[in-house]
Amino acid sequence: MTELNDLLPTTAELVRLRAVAAGHEAPDLIVRGGLVQSPGTHEWLERDVLIAGRHIATLTPWGHVAQAAKEIDAGGCHVVPGFIDAHLHIEYTNLTPGELARLSVARGTTTVLTDPNGAANVWGAAGMDFLLQTRTPLHVFQQVSPTTPGSFDLELGGAVIPEETVLSRLHDDVTLTLGESNPFDYGEVSTARFREALVAGRRITGHTAAQTGESLWGYLAAGVSDDHNAATIDEVLERTRLGAMVTVMGSSLTDNTVPLFADLDAIAPALPSLCFCADDKHALDLTTQGHIDHHVRQAIRFGIDPQQAYRMATTQPAAYYRLDQVLGLLAPSRLADLQIIPDLAEVRPSTVIVAGAIVAQGGTALFRNTDQIPAWTTDTMRLPDVLPEDLFRVAAPEGAASVQVRAMAMYNGYFKRAFTATLPVAGGAVAADPAQDVLKIAVVDRHHGDALTGIGFVRGFGLRRGAIAITMNCPNMNISVVGADDESMRLAVEELGRMGGGYVTVADGEVLARVPLPVGGMMSAAPFEETAAALANGHAVTAGLGCPISSPYIILSFVGLYVVPDLGLTERGLIDAVSQQFVDVLLPGPVDNCGHVHDEEPR
C-alpha cells in the first residue's frame, strides 16, 4: 500500500541528500546529459539528475559532478517525471494491480489514483484494500468510494460499507480524494461526506454527467473539485472557469482527447487546469494504445506544445492533488520517479526509474509480478443452481400483438438517450427486435443467490443473433446481459456462473468467446498479454454477430449506470437518472414492474 508519508525521505535520507547536493558525497546514480523538464518553469534544462537512494538530490549543469556509482546516458533525450493517472478504476483494466504495473510502468505511468468502487461492491472494505496493494513499483493512491451500494433504494447491490468507514478512510495516508459521487444526490448524508473530505484536506473527485448551469453549480458548490466527464470545449471552459480541474478522459468508452484538443485556440485558456486519466480502459486498449502516454501523444499530435503536454501528465496533477512535495516533478528531495524519452512526440520511454531503481527499459518491465491473490477474491458468484425459465420474460398486455417500450440508445460512450420503440409480442411476452436494433438487456443479481432481474431494452449493440454477458455492471458488479433472444441470454448467464465471472459471447446455443476474470468477476491475475488476447478474440467474435462497438463488453458495463442520463438499470428495474426514480418499461403506464418491487425493503 502506498502510504504517502513513507515516500518522503527519512531523516537519514535527508542528511544524505543534502550531502550529495552540496558535493560532499557522490550520488548513487546520475542521469546525465539530458534535457530535463524544469520543475518550476516552462523550460527544458541542460541538467544532470543526481539521485541518492530513492530520491533526487539535485539538478546540476551537465558534467558538474564527475562520477557516481552508476550512470545513465540521456544524451539527445528528454528527462521527465513519471506520468500520473488522475482517475482510474483498476477493475476495468481487467488486470490485478501487479499486472497493470507490468503493462503501464514500462510505458511511463508510475502513479495512479484509483476509485475501487467495483471492488467495494464485491468485497467491501477488504476489496478496497486489495486494490491498493502491490509489490510492484506502481504507486497506487486511493479515491475513497463514497457509497456502497450506490443506493439502498434503487439496487440490492453486493457488499455494504458503513458511512463511518468511508469517513474514516478520508483521513488515511493512502487517500488523496473522495471518489466520484452521484451528482443528483443533494441529501444530508452526502453533503456531510463532502464536508469531511474538505476537513481532511482531500480533493473531491467529480462525476458531472454532462451537467450545465444550475445543476452543475449545485454539484460544484459541495466542494467537488475536478471532473473527468467534460467532453466538449464548452464543458471544459465552464468547469475550469469555476475553479475545477478537468481530468481529460481517454478510456475504452470514449476518448475525449479528440474533441477537446481539436480546437487549440478555444481550449487554450483551460490548458493549465487540465490533467489526464484513463478512467475505464481495458487491458487490450492499454496494450495497443498506451496509458497516459496515449494522452500525451494525442495532445502533441493536435499541436499542443510538448512542454505543456508533459506538464499536464506530471506537474499539474501533482500540484492539484497535493502530491508535489513527494512526486510528479524533478526537484530536490522528491522521489526519483522519471523516464527518459528519446522522441517527445512518440512518448515511448527508453528507461523508466521508480524510487531510484531502473524498472523498465525499451517498453518492457524489468520486474516480475509476485503479488499473491487471496483465495477469497476468486469465490464471488452467487447464482441459483438452475436459472428460472422465465428469467427474462416481460409480459405483454393480454391480446397485444405489439407494445411500446421505453428504451435507451447508446451515444458518446456510456451515455444513454431515452426513446420509444414498438416491439413485437410472441407467446404473450415482449420480444427483442434485432431488425431495428432494439435488444433486450437485463441486470441479474449475482451476490445474493436469487438472480433477481431487472429488464429493459437498448439500441446500439447491433447483435443480429446471440448475446453477450458480463459480471461487471457498474457500479454494483452484477451480471449485465444483452441479447437478441432469451435463450441466448440465459446460456450466457449460465456460462458466467461456470466460469466464475468474466465476459462471454454466445450464439446458436454455443459459447463463442470467453474472457475469464476470476478475481472478483472483474480481473485476471494471468499475464496481461493473455487477458489482452482474450479480449481481442471476444471483440472480434462479437463483431461477427453484428456489433459495431469496438469494446462491447466494457460499454455493456455502463448501460445500467443510473447516475448518467437518461436511463439506467439495476437488478430492481429501470431508472430515470435525473429523478432517481423507477419507471416502467412498458408504455403508457405501469403494466409490468420489470423486476423492481416498490414496497420491498432493501437487503
State the average pLDDT for the chain. Answer: 95
The region, left, alpha or beta by phi > 0 then psi within -120 to 50, assigned to residue 453 is beta
What is the pLDDT, as a whole number, of residue 412? 81
What is the pLDDT, as a whole number, of residue 113? 98
Asked if residue 471 has pLDDT above 90, the reply is yes
What is the pLDDT, as a whole number, of residue 88? 98
Query: What mean pLDDT is predicted for residues 398-408?
Result: 96
Asked if residue 367 has pLDDT above 90, the reply is yes
Asked if residue 596 has pLDDT above 70, the reply is no
Query: What mean pLDDT is predicted for residues 299-308?
Result: 98
What single DSSP character describes residue 600?
P
- If one counts every other C-beta atom within 10 angstroms of the C-beta of residue 548, the result is 11
Amino acid at 401: A
What is the pLDDT, as a whole number, of residue 413? 80
Measure the CA angle with vertex 54, ends 48 and 55; round to 5°. Answer: 50
Q: How is the chain split into domains, by residue range?
A: 82-324, 394-587
Any idea which residue has 475504452 for its cell? 252
Query: What mean pLDDT is predicted for residues 318-328?
Result: 98
In sequence order, what are the residues at sequence separation of 6 or more whose Cβ sits closer than 8 angstroms to the Cβ of residue 133?
Answer: 1, 97, 140, 371
Asked if residue 585 has pLDDT above 60, the reply is yes
Query: What mean pLDDT is predicted for residues 320-341?
Result: 98
Asked if residue 83 has pLDDT above 80, the reply is yes
Query: What mean pLDDT is predicted for residues 64-89?
Result: 97
In angstroms and rounded to an integer, the radius of gyration of the C-alpha atoms of the chain is 25
Query: What are the C-alpha distances in Å from 334 to residues 35, 80, 324?
Result: 18, 13, 8
Query: What mean pLDDT is predicted for residues 530-551?
Result: 98
Query: What mean pLDDT is predicted for residues 467-488?
Result: 97
Asked if residue 593 has pLDDT above 60, the reply is no
Kindly report, residue by residue over 154-206, the tens digit of the pLDDT. 999 999 999 999 999 999 999 999 999 888 888 999 999 999 999 999 999 99
Asked if residue 600 has pLDDT above 50, the reply is no
Asked if residue 578 has pLDDT above 90, the reply is no
pTM of the model: 0.95
pLDDT tier at 279 (50, 70, 90 boundaries)? Answer: very high
Measure the CA angle with vertex 559, ends 92 and 262; round to 5°. Answer: 75
Fold of 82-324: TIM Barrel (3.20.20)
pLDDT tier at 589 (50, 70, 90 boundaries)? Answer: low
Kindly report, residue by residue over 203-254, the tens digit of the pLDDT. 999 988 889 999 999 999 999 999 999 999 999 999 999 999 999 999 999 9
Asked if residue 539 has pLDDT above 50, the reply is yes
Cβ atoms 116, 522 nearer than 8 A: no
What single DSSP character describes residue 38?
P
Kindly report, residue by residue over 100-155, the tens digit of the pLDDT. 999 999 999 999 999 999 999 999 999 999 999 999 999 999 999 999 998 999 99
Asked if residue 601 has pLDDT above 50, the reply is no
Per-residue burial over 79-107, b if 16 or more Cβ lie within 10 Å, else e, is: bbbbbbbbbbbbbbbbbbbbbbbbbbbbb
Least Cα distance to 520 among 446, 570, 452, 448 occurs for 446
Kindly report, residue by residue over 410-421, the tens digit of the pLDDT. 988 888 999 999
